[in-house]
Amino acid sequence: MVLPGPAAALSCMRYDPVTAFHEADESAKRYMVVRGALSFDAEGLPESYDEDAPEEWLTNGRVVGKSLAADGFLNDFAEDIVVVVSCLGPWCGMPQASDDALMFLRVEADGAAIYLDVDPCMPHHFAEASEADFEVMEACMAGDCPPVAE
């Protein structure tokens, strides 16, 4: 008789926009916060649990919207980006094309390279952000960010 092994599951700590803002703010890397539409080439992206998933998957994308400044989401933003999907074992981040997402974009090479990092636990992409999430991001940028929820 063969018994099934224990079910494997990925357990992540809560990751919300406030946590992402604090992480980006404290990082040595440079990030920008953008509200807008994300489109990308999804060909080859793992669609679900995949035992043979690569550690990383790259594709071209585009973000059109507004970047966050001290006065709010006011600066026009329209850039080609690289979407970086990371996998932890068989679990991969799942970016979603969306019209009004909240994104934390990693900026390198003095703005010549812009990345959206999406992994299963810390997506840096909130496709279903609420108006309250955007308002909290504006408060964070103004120096009145709530603490990370435990």
Q: What is the CATH T-level fold of the domain 17-41+50-141, as seen in this structure? A: OB fold (Dihydrolipoamide Acetyltransferase, E2P) (2.40.50)
- On the question of pLDDT at 57 being above 90, the answer is no
The tens digit of pLDDT for each residue in 58-101 reads 999 999 999 999 999 999 999 999 999 888 777 778 888 899 99
Are residues 91 and 67 in contact, defined by beta-carbon separation less than 8 angstroms? Answer: no
pTM, two decimal places: 0.86
Listed by start position, the domains of the chain span: 17-41+50-141
Handedness of CA 70, 133, 35, 86 (dihedral sign): positive
